[in-house]
Amino acid sequence: MAILVLSSPLPAQPFVDALRALAPGIPVWSEADDPPAEKVEALLAWRLKPGTVPRYPKLRVLCSVGAGAEKLLVEDVPDHVSVTRVVDPLQAQEIAQYVLACTLRFTRELPLYEQQQSRAEWRRHPVRPASRCRVGLLGLGAVGQAVARAFAPLGYEVSAWVRRGREWPGVQVFSGTDGLHRLLARSDILVCTLPLTADTRGLLDAATLRRLPRGAVLVNVGRGEHLVEADLRLLLDEGHLAGAALDVFEREPPKPEHWIWRHPRVLATPHIAAQASTETVAQQCLDALQRARDGLPQPHAVDRRAGY
Ligand code: GLV
């Protein structure tokens, strides 16, 4: 029985090497090996096309190479196949670093000072008060919590919008539609860490973004499909939003002619906020396979009904 790595567009070899190093007794293949389908017991993948999973009749577990597993939730995954995602505290910490870097870039006016430096201009501006740097988190899962912890010592007020209300020290928590509107109204920095589901797709549209205070900034580390990019452009050009830091896009990479590359108030990065380590991905895939063989529950299972 074997593991098949289908990580495209990410290269498969690093995952194959890591799995082989951790479990020398288990055959590990990539697509290029053209493996015998009836031997495949686990798939390690980033996205799947419908029709892929039914090719593997002995499949027990479908493991995502990422924290977000929405691209594996195709309709033809049989119920007996567990779907798992990566949960890596280091990855959450790296995303928090990215969010912090992007937020401070805006709140501490670094683009302005970089422009001034290019003109050898010595000009001091008042520091934006913390009361105008209120952070609103969409989602308070492993990533959202790491982001909230990173902001805690900075004096910026942090609120979060969650599906089910729960207490979180130092964070004011909102839920429901009314809660979303209240969170938006008090978010000078809106950070999206949500999973992509039918409910969250397109959530960041013009109606949502317009509820942010004038001069707000969006940081998107969720998925590109959370954001309606054309609506973001509208609000940036109207001056309602002061900027956006985007690590994820509707289409990755965006086409070279896409406006988003060149907009003066957009910081666009190529989905690098964090990458789970190959060893962690491989280890969690092996653990998931062992648990599936032993009939044990999966600690990192994706709830297919909820979509994450
Ligand atoms: C990256 O986007 C991930 O889901 O891990």
Cα 107 to Cα 216: distance, rounded to the nearest angstrom: 10
Q: Which CATH class is domain 3-88+276-294?
A: alpha beta
Q: What is the DSSP string of 36-77?
A: -GGGEEEEEES---TTSGGG-TT--EEEESSS--GGG--TT-
Query: Is the Cβ atom of 222 under 6 angstroms away from ligand 1?
Result: no
Query: Is the Cβ atom of 35 under 6 angstroms away from ligand 1?
Result: no
Q: Return the CATH fold of 90-268.
A: Rossmann fold (3.40.50)
Query: Is the Cβ atom of 66 under 6 angstroms away from ligand 1?
Result: yes
Pull the structure tokens for residue 163: 């599906």
Query: Is the Cβ atom of 67 under 6 angstroms away from ligand 1?
Result: yes
Question: How many H-runs (helices) and E-runs (strands) does the chain carry?
Answer: 8, 12
Question: Does the pLDDT value for residue 165 go beyond 80?
Answer: no
Query: Is the Cβ atom of 195 under 6 angstroms away from ligand 1?
Result: no
**Under a CB-based contact definition with an 8 Å cutoff, are residues 289 and 41 in contact?**
yes
Question: Does the pLDDT value for residue 1 go beyond 80?
Answer: yes
What's the pLDDT score for residue 26? 96
Establish whether 157 is a catalytic residue.
no
**Under a CB-based contact definition with an 8 Å cutoff, are residues 52 and 14 in contact?**
no
Q: What is the average pLDDT score of the chain?
A: 96
Cα 33 to Cα 51: distance, rounded to the nearest angstrom: 19
Mean predicted confidence (pLDDT) in 86-114 = 96
pLDDT digits (tens, 9 = 90+) for 257-282: 999 999 999 999 999 999 889 999 99
> Would you place residue 5 in the very low, low, confident or very high pLDDT band (cuts 50, 70, 90)?
very high
Name the E strands within the chain: 2-6, 28-30, 40-45, 61-64, 82-84, 135-138, 158-161, 171-174, 189-192, 216-220, 241-246, 266-268
Distance 244 CA to ligand 1 centre (A): 19
Establish whether 164 is a catalytic residue.
no
Q: How far is CA 64 from the centre of its chain?
A: 13
Distance 195 CA to ligand 1 centre (A): 10
Fold match flag (3-88+276-294 vs 90-268): yes
Distance 67 CA to ligand 1 centre (A): 5
Distance 255 CA to ligand 1 centre (A): 21
What's the pLDDT score for residue 248? 98
Residue 152: other Cβ atoms inside 10 A: 12
Cα 68 to Cα 65: distance, rounded to the nearest angstrom: 8
Domain residue extents for the chain: 3-88+276-294, 90-268
pLDDT digits (tens, 9 = 90+) for 119-160: 999 999 999 999 999 999 999 999 999 999 999 999 999 999
Sign of the torsion angle spanned by Cα atoms 227, 224, 156, 108: negative
Given 223, 226, 291, 300, the catalytic residue: 223
